[in-house]
Chains A and B, each alone.
Chain A
């Protein structure tokens, strides 16, 4: 087995979810290479070389990989694919954009968001908003997949892999990167935070999320939201936790003013401890919460902040 991991990075640094993907690759076994494609991405490549167990880091540094455009990225990976039995990327908007395109180019199977490696050709993944888990297998010679970060531990980073520059430039000219509006936050990222506090429709508006932010700042937590809160325009989509947003599994998840729709539970029910604060005692969120507080969130949340 020879595995290629597509690194998740912002040119300057490697995203932690790459290390979860490395653990999944290690469970398959064999030689593992990492591809870092971007523009001026040398420091991300250095970080990838430090992942324990990586054989080689392949670096494609060119303007046409800025913004990780799926067309150019899939074309680049296609030039490398014949050397590999598995091509893996973290389940992120980037991985989900690039790898299905690659799989079709290679005419091979694609597994989306795997949660377990059963063997080199068999994997588990969730369907129907996490209400069922399927075990799937393929005989295709190249297996392409994205990997759910929260389902695998972080790999260690005391390695020193060789770094090789790729001279291939696969600029298809189909698309171009215009700009990026990054959500600025001093808080930890949602998907890697140890504590997440999320608000739902019960927050009533975007301004009221400030009471969650105050608690988050005391706990070193990330702030999330339900789809209802995003749909209502309270907060941006990058805060969405759920089937159609981000999947999180922190040590502590605090759901505030969230009823607990199926699609929200899909994104957080693997959290270690779940706390629900909701004034409706019949809200479904209480059926998955370790601790429930039936209370008006506008009383309970400030009180919680004071108590911390």
Chain B
């Protein structure tokens, strides 16, 4: 079975971003970029399935600007066999990404697609669900445990009330939550090896997908900043302030 794993280039989630001066977007100039942390978990899971003899090949797909090759190389260094970049000029809506991925699936015929549960830039949590819908496949979102059992998957999901286990028929789309695994660090030899792995760059226009945005961003603004308050000297003072000044206890 082949696994398709999706990789997104995002700003480093530990870096505080700034809104552009004209309030039209987030200013990503000179911001450190990284692989979306949930995509890293997706790559790790795919590679583990290959190491366990369940998957035969791991193909990493990224849809984004030319620089996304860096994140694909990270995926290759972690153990993916080859990469595909669908090169776009700027950001794309999730539904468009799902439609482009659908075309890749038609060509690659994977038995399983693994994605992160959300990207830390747009915070949507939607591409995997949309892709499953377009394919007419089962979806297992927010996965914390994945077991493949013949033609189906036993999947444990992180839900608000605890854990939910579902059985999915294959092929399927799975999106990863934090506790699915702990991604490995790519070793230096593997980083070197990754440079020689195949990475296919395809122009977005070749896919025949309508790229017209459906959502218009009217404004991007900075939220009201919270001001730090006072540092207190004792627990007694804290309890007093919460009771009398704020009346919250």
Binding site for B on A (CB under 8 A): 10, 67, 69-71, 74, 92-94, 96-105, 107-113, 122, 126-140, 173-183, 191, 195, 219, 227, 230-231, 236-238, 240, 243-244, 246, 251-252, 261-263, 269, 272-275, 281, 286-295, 300, 303-304, 307-308
Q: Is A304 within 8 A of B223, CB to CB?
A: no
B134 at the interface (CB under 8 A from A): yes
Q: Which of A128, A230, A287, A303 contacts B11 (CB 8 A)?
A: A128
Smallest CB–CB gap between B39 and chain A, Å?
Answer: 13
B29 at the interface (CB under 8 A from A): no
Q: Is B219 within 8 A of A275, CB to CB?
A: no
Q: Is B161 within 8 A of A71, CB to CB?
A: no
Q: Is A138 within 8 A of B246, CB to CB?
A: no
Selecting from B60-68, B197-205, B210-218, the interface stretch reads B210-218
Q: Is B125 within 8 A of A183, CB to CB?
A: no
Chain A's interface: helix, strand, loop or mixed, by majority? mixed
Q: Which of B93, B163, B168, B177 contacts A181 (CB 8 A)?
A: B163
> Whose C-beta in chain A lies nearest to the C-beta of B134?
A104
Smallest CB–CB gap between A127 and chain B, Å?
Answer: 5
Q: Is B98 within 8 A of A104, CB to CB?
A: yes
Q: Is A291 within 8 A of B232, CB to CB?
A: yes
B249 at the interface (CB under 8 A from A): yes
Smallest CB–CB gap between B143 and chain A, Å?
Answer: 11
Q: Is B221 within 8 A of A131, CB to CB?
A: no
B123 at the interface (CB under 8 A from A): yes
Q: Is A175 within 8 A of B249, CB to CB?
A: no
Smallest CB–CB gap between B169 and chain A, Å?
Answer: 5
B90 at the interface (CB under 8 A from A): no
Q: Which of B160, B221, B249 contacts A133 (CB 8 A)?
A: B221
Q: Is B178 within 8 A of A230, CB to CB?
A: yes
Q: Which of B124, B129, B218, B246 contacts A101 (CB 8 A)?
A: B129
The 21 sampled A-B contact pairs (Cβ below 8 Å) are A94-B160, A96-B125, A96-B126, A100-B126, A101-B129, A101-B133, A102-B133, A112-B124, A126-B223, A133-B221, A135-B218, A174-B136, A174-B137, A195-B248, A246-B160, A252-B246, A288-B226, A289-B228, A292-B228, A292-B230, A293-B234
Q: Known interface pairs A140-B214, A292-B231. Does A179 touch B223 (Cβ–Cβ under 8 Å)?
A: no
Q: Is A180 within 8 A of B230, CB to CB?
A: no
Q: Which of A74, A140, A274, A303 contacts B133 (CB 8 A)?
A: A74
Smallest CB–CB gap between B90 and chain A, Å?
Answer: 15
Alpha-carbon gap, A180 to B16, bound state (A): 37
